[in-house]
Chain A
Amino acid sequence: MTLRFVLNGHEVETEATSTDVSLLTWLRARGLTGTKEGCAEGECGACAVAMLRTDVHGRTRFEAVNGCLVPLSAVHGRTVVTVEGVANPDGTLHPVQTAMVNAGGSQCGYCTPGFVVSLFCEYYRPGRTSVDLESIGGNLCRCTGYRPILDVARALPSPEATDPTLAVLESAVPPEARVEPSSRTSRFARPTELDEAFRLLEAHPEATLISGGTDLMVVANAASAPTEKETTWLSLTAIAELRRFEVTDEAVVIGAGLPLADLEELLPEKAPGAVPLLEQLLPLFSSRLIRNRATLGGNLGTASPIGDSPPVLLALDARVGLASKAGRREVPLATFFLDYRKTLLERGELITHVVIPRPVPALQRFYKVSKRVLDDISTVAAAFALDLTRDHRVAHLRIAYGGVAATPLRALAVEDRAYGQPWTRATLEALLPLVERLGTPMTDMRGSAAYRRAMLSKLLEKFFHDTAPAAKAAE
């Protein structure tokens, strides 16, 4: 099929390619080489491009995404701005570009287009009153040490009233268009309805589900040779139902396809303080460039033992909504992960939503142990949720870890043992030997088995330390 989209203000048409061709690869081959490939893993942001979308408030905005992780076919119907399209139509520099030049924000210049695009999106962020520094959290620079770029970000001016880009932001963005699967052996399909997705799954049983693509594209980019097998990627991003977000007294329901950046905005607005664990998790989840595309459905479906959301959702007793042509069901997340990268998803079934039952426990903490604070993958992650009785006994405790076994892990034995016990150092001491025995930690490039094992107990201790004073204060 012919893909159509708007690129730097011009309509372009191109024939669909193999699923694994990224927008970045296509741009560069077309001579738009301002967008750079630094890592092809979505870690460095040198390939950042801006895509126009409707945000959770119905406003049109630019969001920065890693061009290396966007399949070209996913761009169908969208509006894309690359670094070449940032300057004013008359060729003069955009205020973001001018600021970067004057601040000494570029040295070798290779990461600069990515920073410019990230800052461009932040510049036009609707309702921006102060800078969100996470807007550049997914961009790596090896030369400057960041200080000048941070200075630029902190001093971003407001757009002038005459800025032609404002007109673009005032017009509505059409919903993501359907992409028909092509007849190639490697095809990309994007249905707009669930039923259509089920039909496609039936027709292409080998299909791989793709949402933001922030995991799948990393794998595709790393492949030693282009696949010659029959491949279908079934994109779920155009199905509105998968992006729901509902808050009731009983639950918070999050669509499996809701980008995490949207969740990050919605949570404090629609359910302030309702799910502290999620609010703690989101800023630590990769980078904004990734969160603009990544989803809970993807993070659960890929079933990595080092995913960041599973421990949090496990600690919250979340349920997972699944649907197939045969019908719908909700299962406890605690039963969802079967083995390394294996879930109980059946053929033809997909994740529709996540349910977090309310009320949630009063004391919640998410800890992520990684080499880098942001834009990193966990060595170990842990989520804790605790309710105490009035006399400070454990009324409810959930402990979940990532990175210590083949699947995300609930510490059931520890939770049971704690039940009814006073939340004191003595109880903690009794629990520590139990957590230390959990899981099957491994040694890899992120950390040793011994460190991972040590973190099992140290993070519980940290949780105790962080919550025991709160427990006392409540007295």
Chain B
Amino acid sequence: MSGEVGKARPHESAVGHVTGAARYVDDLWPVTGRVAHAWPVVSPHAHARVVDIDVIAAKRDPAVLAVLTAADVPGVNDVGAARRDEPLFPSEVSHLGQAVAWVIAETEDAAKTGASRVSVRYEPLPAILSIEQAIEAGAYLTEPARMRRGDPKQALRTSPHRLEGELFIGGQEHFYLETQAALAFRDEDGGYFVHSSTQHPSETQEICARVLGVQKHSVTVQCVRMGGAFGGKEVQANGWAAVAVIAAAKLGRPVRVRLNRRQDMTMTGKRHPFLARFAAGYDGTGKLLALEAALYSDGGWCLDLSAPVLERALFHSDNCYFVPDVEVVGTVCRTHHQSHTAFRGFGGPQGMLVIEEVMDRVARSLGLPPHVVRQRNFYREGNETHYGQVVRDAARIDRLWKELAESSELTLRWEAVRAFNATSPHVKRGLAATPVKFGISFTTAFFNQAGALVLIYKDGSVQVNHGGTEMGQGLHTKMLQIAADALGLPAEAVRIMPTRTDKVPNTSATAASAGSDLNGAAVRAACSTLRERLAEVAAVHFRTTPDAITFADGRVYPTGDPSSSITFEAIVSEAYLARVSLSSTGYYRTPELHFDRASGKGKPFHYFSYGASVSEVEVDGFTGQYRLLRTDILHDVGDSLSPLVDRGQVEGGFVQGVGWLTTEELVWNAQGALATAGASTYKLPTAFECPADLRVRFLARAAEPGVVHGSKAVGEPPLMLAISVREALRDAVASFGDDGITELACPATPEAVFWSIERVRERSVVKQAASWGE
């Protein structure tokens, strides 16, 4: 072993990043000839019938090459992935900002001007602009999904304590720094090549083929890298590639589609807003006895990935807690908003937030510290989830919690915060600890497969192709490390190739945190095959058996005799001359996954990732503004494949979660327009929103059996570590009043925190007055 796996290695494109040499899709057009540019004509209505599209004025400009409408679609005018409910050129618009036509022109300016000259007549229709309105109208995109154990109704009746509540959970804009982009070419023999910033090249290929009316073999999609995706390019990259490829087909020229930030924010979906209604029964120690929860998500105008997102919310509505009698039901609402979609966590965060809301309310209703109540409800070894999967390594939750409580001095600081607040009327601190349990695997079992294609050239250099895409998460870095180790090569000998549909077919999206698990196993399988072949050649060379050959540091030798080694290149050369194949595919599928939707039972996850965090905040009682003082994180990444990458995922996921729960507020106006459609109105964290003191550690002794190199998925779980920040804010707010149940809107913007403080203050004034009256 040359020890690449487990080494803290910079991102494989880091040098390209810091020099600006790393190219993204929209960096390609300036170095490509005769590129035409696209600009959309968008709907000013949330819901309307398109009566007429008049393109004559736009077409008068010779720089305008085409105005695409439904008539220009050679194949099927629909880009829906899960359901065919997404007309690319709609006869009825279903959200404000939806494109009804695209102008293709010689320059972006000409396309823009052209689009402003297209006049569209609409017949406005009534719009559904909130979850409540959808519930009232019975507008749903799915039938209710249900998971249940025991008899929660009965258990609620017999519980010593009960509470009911409602929580609205805000959505979140992905705000990948690189907006959606595609560049499509028609080649000389009728094929199409599409550069797309997509998490799912195979699906982008499928959709392009569908709109063109050609077979998939005619379309090749490539994704070199993405400037961030976070789920926002899992299915929602497809439409732009489709527009580009239709235009390229029509014009025979390369066509570029790139959304600017405003277009991206008004045309693409976000993390689903949720409405949760819950009732919980519990005993005097804070142990949960029963839970009923109804979750409604705002799916937006079409189905997209809303069904599995909602399902994952249901899967995670237990988080780390055992609830004996429980029923969770979820329904996707149809509204005239953008179609909400995958976003890091994929419903898990919303589901988890509901149970954490319940935990805090239970604790405060009993006057107990919330972290104590949380710990009392943890899963124990042998427990099953509400959907019937055994919680393997359940004891790890408690172990992690105790280690973190100790290293963060949780108890001591809990008291210190109370002491600080007792003497500080206008500034209060808050402290909270929250755990994370996140299920790893696509919950649709057949997506859990991956392929790789590894090529060795005569000089001993290696190209690795795999089905995963690089969006910054460091997947390619990990694949490089796995391949290098598997072939006993230094990292420099291995090159990770851009993800292309003509190298590995029928891939799954790079999503569900499963990119490394799935593709890593496939890459390792391909490399193992090649290594076995080369070992046979080496065995002949060294007059020994193949199993007695070592590959390390770019050299090959009989095990235990490095002094007689020859180079990897020499063995490859011998293999070539001996007519041994130097390329191989590799394939992996996750074993033993199943889930029955009818009964709501099964084993949807290969394993669980665990983590916990403790956060401390300070809140200004005059304005509701706050600061994050400190966060301690202990996270379970198994045996880390790449510690620098994994730490980046943990920290970055956490801060992204902080944004979701604090400053990132999506506001739609009464007409259905997104009022926060730019960086000046939609506020993600800056360097100054991060905790002043951030301490991140990985759980030790955590190797995960049955996963490549004992590692664990790390993409999504850390996002939910941010829930401790929301709960710490609530703790601070509660201290302005009587520490009782404290409702806090989500996201907890300064304004939301302010109103929450006003409510708890009012309540304590009323209570005081009442007690004086006695």
Contact = CB atoms under 8 A, between A and B. Distances in A.
Contact of B18 (A101, A147, A379): A101
11 contacts: A31-B31, A33-B30, A36-B178, A97-B18, A101-B17, A104-B10, A111-B177, A112-B17, A145-B655, A222-B262, A462-B426
A39 B175 CA distance: 10
Interface stretch (A200-208, A324-332, A443-451): A443-451
Interface string B22-62: 11101100110000000000000000000000000000000
Interface string B663-689: 101010000000110111101111111
Interface stretch (B355-363, B574-582, B747-755): B747-755
Contacts of B115: 224-225
Contacts of B21: 34, 84
Main SS class of interface, B = loop
Interface string B733-774: 000000000000000011100110010000000000000000
A44 B177 contact: yes
Interface in A352-372: 367, 369-372
Contacts of B461: none
A104 B14 CA distance: 8
Contact of A224 (B20, B116, B645): B116
Contacts of B19: 34, 83-84, 86-87, 93, 97
B228 interface: yes
A445 B681 contact: yes
Contact of A46 (B116, B177, B651): B177
Contacts of B645: 104
Contacts of B174: 142
Nearest to A287: B686
Name which of B19, B652, B749 has the most chain A CB atoms within 10 A of its CB. Answer: B19
A136 B689 CA distance: 13
B112 A376 contact: no
Interface string A91-135: 001001100111011111111110010000000000000000100
Contacts of A106: 11, 13-14, 17-18, 472
Chain A interface residue count: which class?
Answer: 35 or more
Contacts of B10: 101-102, 104
A104 B754 contact: no
A374 B688 contact: yes
Contacts of B471: 108
Interface of A: 28-41, 43-44, 46, 82-84, 86-87, 93, 96-97, 100-102, 104-113, 116, 133, 136-137, 139-150, 218, 222, 224-226, 228, 287, 367, 369-377, 379, 444-448, 451, 454-455, 458-459, 461-462, 465
Given A39-B261, A43-B679, A84-B20, A458 B622 contact: yes
A38 B175 CA distance: 9
Contacts of A372: 663, 683, 685-686, 688-689
Contacts of A84: 19-21
A221 to B, nearest CB: 8
Contacts of B139: none
Name which of B14, B645, B678 has the most chain A CB atoms within 10 A of its CB. Answer: B14
Name which of A35, A86, A371, A373 has the most chain B CB atoms within 10 A of its CB. Answer: A371
A16 to B, nearest CB: 16
- Top 7 nearest A-B pairs (CB, nearest first) are A34-B20, A108-B472, A110-B227, A109-B17, A145-B655, A43-B679, A33-B27
A36 B113 contact: no
Contacts of A101: 10-11, 14-15, 17-18
B595 interface: no
B686 A100 contact: no
A136 B622 contact: no
A106 B652 CA distance: 11
Contact of B680 (A43, A109, A113, A444): A43
B667 A445 contact: yes
B490 to A, nearest CB: 18
